[in-house]
Each structure stands twice: as C-alpha cells, then as structure tokens.
Structure 1
Amino acid sequence: MALSSLAAGQLEAGQARGASADPTPLPEDESPNQGPPAVLSEMAAFYQELHTPTQGQTVIRQLMHKLLVFSAREVDHRGGCLILRDTGISLLIPPGAVAVGRQERVSLILVWDLSDGPSLSRAQALVSPVVACGPHGASFLKPCTLTFKHCAQMPSHARTYSSNTNLLDAKDWKPLGKSGVHTSLDECRIQLSHFSLYTCVLEAPSVQEARKWLQLAVFCSPLAPGQTHLQLRVYFLNNTPCALQWALTNEQPHGGRLRGPCQLFDFTGARGDQCLKLKYISEGWENVDDSSCQVVPHLHIWHGKCPFRSFCFRRKAANENEDCSALTNEIIVTMHTFQDGLETKYMEILRFQASEEEAWAAPPPVSQPPPCNRLPPELFEQLKMLLEPNSITGNDWRRLASHLGLCGMKIRFLSCQRSPAAAILELFEEQNGSLQELHYLMTLMERLDCASAIQSYLGSPAPFPAWAPGRTRARSWSWT
C-alpha cells in the first residue's frame, strides 16, 4: 500500500481542474518508482532512524522513498510490547526473551510500499499489511509474537509469507510452515524465532471460491459556503485498520475527510471488475463528467493496491442569471457498487450527504488523539484470569468497572456475561485506554498482582496518567 506520487498527483490535478480525477492504476507487472540506488551512508542512516527509540510514539515518515509507520524501543529481561497506533499491529517480546543485564533495541514497522509485497498470481490476493520486525535477523531466548489483521473471509485460506531479507534488499517471499502460526477470524499471530518481513496472502483451493472483505471509504473536502464544485472519492480498501489509515494519510495533504462509516463489501476473486455507478444527485447539483459509471480493474483490488475512484459535482443555476452561491447548501448523493455481472446479487448502496452547517466541516483539532494501546493477547488473558474470580471485598473486575464509571445496573449486566472480566477489559480497550493508565488503576485498587503483570509489558516504571489525583481527568469513560 504505497502512498504513491501517482495517486497524490492525480488527486491534486483533479482538484485543480474542478473535474473528476480518474486515476490510471499501476499496471500489474510494474512497481512504483524506487528512486536512485542508495549509498551505504544513506542505508546506515535509514536503519539507525528505524531503530532509534520513539518513546512509545507511532511515527509516520518517508525514508529512502518508502512511506513507513514504525515504533522502536529498548527491551531488557522484563520484555516489552510495541504497538502501532490504529493499525491492529503489535509485537510482544515476552519476559526472559532477553538475557538479564542486556538491553536490545527492537522496532516494529508497517510498510506502505507495494514494491515490498510478494509477487502475486491472479489466484492470489493480498489480505494483510507487510510488516517488518527489526533489526533483521535478531533472535531471542524465547519466541516473540507478531500480531496483525487480515481480511480473508476464510481464515484457512490465509497463508503467511516471510521474506528473510533486509527492508532495503530485494525481497524473497516464501510461505511459512503452519508451526507457530495461528490465524483466527480476522487476525494472524506468528511466533517468531528471528526477525524479518511478514505478510498474509489468500490462497484458496481450486475447488473453492476465494473471497475477502473490503471496506469502502468515502472522502471529500468540507462543503463551504459559495463552493461551486465538490469532489467525492471512494476508496476500495482491504478491511484492515492499516488500509484505512493509509487512505486517511493519503487524503491529509488535500484536506479530504472521511465521510461516514466505512461499508463492508463481499469481494470475490472469481468475478469481474468493480463498478461504481452514480444513481442519484440532489436537486441543485450535477455531475461534471458525462459518465455516471466508473470501473476499477479487478486485480487492483484483489492485490490490495488501495485504488480509488472519484466524481466531481457542481452547483447548477436555474437560469444563467441566477447566482450559484444562493442555491442549495446541501448535497445528497447515492451510488451503487458491485462486481461486474453481479449488479443485482451483490450490491452495496453508498449514500453521501453533506451540508455547510455540519460540524464535520470544521477543521480537525491540532492536538493528536491519544495512542491506541491494544492490550497484548497474553496480557489480556492473564488479567482476565486474575480479575475473573469474585472476591469477598469486591476487589475484582467489579472494582475496575466502578473505576471506569459504570453504575450498579451496568455492572450487574456485565455479571451476566460469559466472562465479565473480558467484557470490562474490552471496554477499556474500546475507550482507547493505555497500559500506563491500566497499571495506575490496578495500583489504586491494590491489585499488585495485576499491576506487576502489566509492568512486565511496560519495561520501565509506569508514569502516572494524565488524570491521576491532583490533575484534571483527561478522559471521560462512557458506556456505549
């Protein structure tokens, strides 16, 4: 998933001319331009930056013509966890993986560059991001766990691949064996013996139809008073968090904002191209182009190239003397999307509505959202086992629920769940809670067993969260 100059250029050009930017996707046998060959000093600086600790932050940066999302930290015998914010990607180094008295620098890297993925046949589909663990070739006393999302409809069809190469070297992708690889409904978990590059490819048996889930994301710039043109862009993305983050990053330089929730689409590898048909435009607007239907080549979606198609609309006056700015301040658009030949069977309806008064048109806040620290699976299970048994004093999952602001009725509701402790931990995750905050809560509850388990993942003394006593609470917990 490359943030290619091609896509950006088309988007920019389309906005400049006030017409539809119909991108010409890259041919299937070509890769994005990689720039001139790197010299040794540039390569050394590249790897040095990737492995420099980021203080728990997720960094998005273009290095050596590659757009990368990465995080790095130092890990000792207590282990540690690296999480790439909002991508569903994490790397767990368990306690004891590093010898006592030693420290190792490790990095977790999401690669947004199509040229780094495996070469795929027409029968194969890319269903996950390309992830690199660094430094390349590093090994530990205990296996580390890499976790990332996939969008294959049948987990048994998702096959994990590895390229035992450096990030700047030519890739040599080969399938991994099943040992140490677990693929659930939407997640792939790999036990690593050493660090390299990893991804997931859909390979269905010849007698079965291969399918994957797409997410359709609609973007446009805010509708402003007096604006005569509006460009709407629909992205066809793998249904993974990092694919959506790529689209959000691609839209940032052009002011594009995500319009409404993404919609799921059942995409099959045995069918035709994807069609996007304009069905309705509200009164006062018209389509700039003559064509009301656009097509995305099947393989550009199947191979995970994140293509988009755009429509450009303009206000129309009732007559030549009427001022366009005095017309409707709202636009409503309906589109149908389907694979060629399946117009009536597999149809997704995209409805778009925007008005000048809506709050979404306001510029985004300058402050960044807090890091999304998804609990590592092993820690989640450990905390669940520790908090599940009911204690006489109530110092269990119920106390945590109380600290998160749940009332008695909601706590009683949770007690009817199959695993109340798992439910309250999932709520903590949904509210974007961090490991530091959870460590503080466990200390406040005097559940030192839980605090100790969390501390082993933090790798250093946990700072007090922003809402510790004596400070203003930074997050308001709510029941949804």
Structure 2
Amino acid sequence: MSVEEETTSCYCLLDPYACHILLNSFGTYALIGEPISDCAVRQLKVAVFGCLSCNSLDYNLRVYCMDNTPCAFQEVVSDERLQGGQLLEEPKLLHFRGNTFSLQISVLDIPPFLWRIKPFTACQEVPFSRVWGSSQQPLLCGFSLERYSPATTQLSCKVCVRQLQGHEQILHIRTAVLENERETIPFFAHDDSNFPAQMGPKAFKIPYSIRQRICATFDTPNTKGKDWQMLAQKNSINRNLSYFAAQSSPSAVILDLWEARHQHDGDLDSLACALEEIGRTHSKLSDATETEAEEPDFSSSRQNGL
C-alpha cells in the first residue's frame, strides 16, 4: 500500500491474494493499482446462457466473464431471466494473468449440416486492457447459431474461453432448443463453491466466549504494553492505528479483520500462537505472580479449541 496518511473513516489492508476494507459507513470506494509482475491474477467466473431467438431458427449464446463474487453472478442471473436465458453449463473459474495478452472466446465443434454460425464470428477477441482494467462488468460476448431445419431440437458444441499464453476453460454445451424439452440447471447450485461465506451458519467465526475474553483483556490500557496495539502488531497491523483507536472496542475490530483474512483456512492455531507469544513477552516485563493473578491464561485456550 502506498497510502500512509492516518484516517479514522476506513482501514485498508492489502494481502497477496485479497484486499480487506473496514468502513464506518456504506459508500462507493475505488481500489486503483496495476500489477507489478505478470504473476498477478484476476479471477473471472465464466458462464454461458442461451435462448431461442424471435425467428425460432436462430439460437443465441451469451458468454459472460465476470468477477468471482456471488453478487456479480446473481446480477447476470437476474438480467438473463428477463431475457428468457437459460444457464447451459456449470460456471467455471478462469485465472486471467496480468501478462498483457488478450482473451479469446470461441464456439467449437458445431454439428455440421444441422447448425451454422455466421462466417468470421465463431471467435471473438477482447483486448487485455478491457478485461483487466475495465469497470464495465461483466464482459459479454454474444454468438448467433442458425439451425437448418425446425426439426433440429438439440444443440451440442463447446465454448472455449482462453487467454493467449495463459489459462483456458472449455464449457461443454448440450441442450434442447425447445424450452419444454430442456433440462434445467439450478441458478444457485454453485454460488459458494469458490467464495467463502461471510455471514450465516457457514461463516468462520472465533468462538464467542474466546472473543469476549480477548476483548476484555486487550481493550483495557495496560502499562506494560499488553493491549490492543500489541494484538494488532502480532496480526501484522502496523499502520493507521488511529482507525482502531476510534472504535468502541479496538480488539473486536482487529478480530473481525482476522476472521476475514482466515475465512478459507479457519486457522485458529495462528491466533492462539499470537496470544501465547504476547503472554510470554508480557511475562518478561512483569512479575510472574502478578501475571498469574491478573492475566487470563490463553495458552490453555489452545488446548480447548483456540
């Protein structure tokens, strides 16, 4: 992060694979930057929808490349429902690298003598800058296939989405053209497969009793330095501490950030290790008997679930 000024309105923490933003109020914010190497990756969810056109002979395929978030996918689902679109294959994840190479989307293996696609439209190429930095999301590429006869009611083909000198995904399309004959793929069967739950019973949370003990211990100012600032330091939070100082419970906000950074692994051991290390550091600064009398023993928490 290049931003160094202190502020109490928000806190931003940039991890190697995620950016965490803590806010006091809702609003519109922009994270602006550029990859420092071609190893940087933007995760795109790829989904294909289809519907019969008005003239009943053409069948429209719409290929979306969107941010890998449940909200982005649900927006596409809502738009497609208004157009009568049908999800034709489970969405897949494409790792789009910051290597300046463009994205190609093509329709392959169209059954000959049954279907045809307009010449020179079977492959579409999207420049790197439009995929990587454009705010016009999701990215949409449309294809129109024409069947030679109304008697043709089945379509099978492949949709290939690939980055030149990068990752590739192939979606296999097998569908009935007529609505009353095709099998429905649920819209909501795959929302959480690649995105950890942030709310509800599936969300990773620190046990409430442990959270209460930590907040009670570290929110209180301590002459020996064992307070929320040391808790922040042990969790690699070293700047803009004024944001946490302005909160009613700085420790609770630090723990909220810790939960967000560990949604994938739920690694409570790392938090327990940090607490134990703080306890050992504090013991060197205070009398051993005083520590036993006044400070909770967090090392036992590790044996009991933290």
What TM-score comes out, normalization by structure 2 length? 0.52
Distance apart, 1:209 and its partner CA: 3.5
Distance apart, 1:288 and its partner CA: 3.3
Q: 1:301 aligns with which of 126, 131, 138?
A: 131
Question: In structure 1, the residue corresponding to 2:100 is in which secondary structure?
Answer: coil
Q: 2:167 aligns with which of 339, 346, 350?
A: 346
Higher strand content, 1 or 2: 1
Distance apart, 1:189 and its partner CA: 3.4
Residue identity (%): 21
- What is the RMSD computed on CA atoms of the aligned residues? 4.2
Looking at structure 2, the residues matched to 347 and 379 of structure 1 have their Cα atoms a distance apart, in angstroms, of: 32
Looking at structure 2, the residues matched to 378 and 268 of structure 1 have their Cα atoms a distance apart, in angstroms, of: 29
Q: 1:199 to 1:211 in 2, by over 3 A?
A: same
**Which of these two proteins has the greater Rg computed from alpha carbons?**
2
Aligned residues: 197
Do 2:50 and 2:61's aligned partners in 1 also have CA atoms closer than 8 Å? yes
Q: 1:382 to 1:181 in 2, by over 3 A?
A: farther
1:307-456 residue pairs with structure 2 within 5 A? 307-316=139-148, 324-327=149-152, 329-340=153-164, 342=165, 346-355=167-176, 356=178, 357-360=181-184, 374-375=199-200, 380-382=205-207
Structure-2 residue corresponding to 1:216: 46
What TM-score comes out, normalization by structure 1 length? 0.35
Do 1:238 and 1:304's aligned partners in 2 also have CA atoms closer than 8 Å? no
1:49-88 residue pairs with structure 2 within 5 A? none
Higher helix content, 1 or 2: 2
Do 1:231 and 1:313's aligned partners in 2 also have CA atoms closer than 8 Å? yes
Looking at structure 2, the residues matched to 350 and 193 of structure 1 have their Cα atoms a distance apart, in angstroms, of: 42
Distance apart, 1:294 and its partner CA: 1.0
Asked if 1:197 corresponds to 2:28, the answer is yes
- Which digits, 9 at most, give the CA deviation of each residue in 1:201-243, with x for residues without a partner? 45333x553321111111112699x942210010111212222
Do 1:221 and 1:257's aligned partners in 2 also have CA atoms closer than 8 Å? yes
One-letter code aligned to 1:336: C
Q: Gaps (5+ residues) in structure 2?
A: 188-196, 212-264, 267-306
Distance apart, 1:263 and its partner CA: 1.0
Looking at structure 2, the residues matched to 346 and 185 of structure 1 have their Cα atoms a distance apart, in angstroms, of: 20
Looking at structure 2, the residues matched to 176 and 287 of structure 1 have their Cα atoms a distance apart, in angstroms, of: 59
Do 2:104 and 2:123's aligned partners in 1 also have CA atoms closer than 8 Å? yes
Distance apart, 1:282 and its partner CA: 2.5
Q: Gaps (5+ residues) in structure 1?
A: 1-158, 162-173, 317-323, 365-371, 387-417, 420-480
Distance apart, 1:257 and its partner CA: 2.5
Distance apart, 1:260 and its partner CA: 2.0
Structure-2 residue corresponding to 1:260: 89
Looking at structure 2, the residues matched to 378 and 262 of structure 1 have their Cα atoms a distance apart, in angstroms, of: 23
Looking at structure 1, the residues matched to 2 and 30 of structure 2 have their Cα atoms a distance apart, in angstroms, of: 6
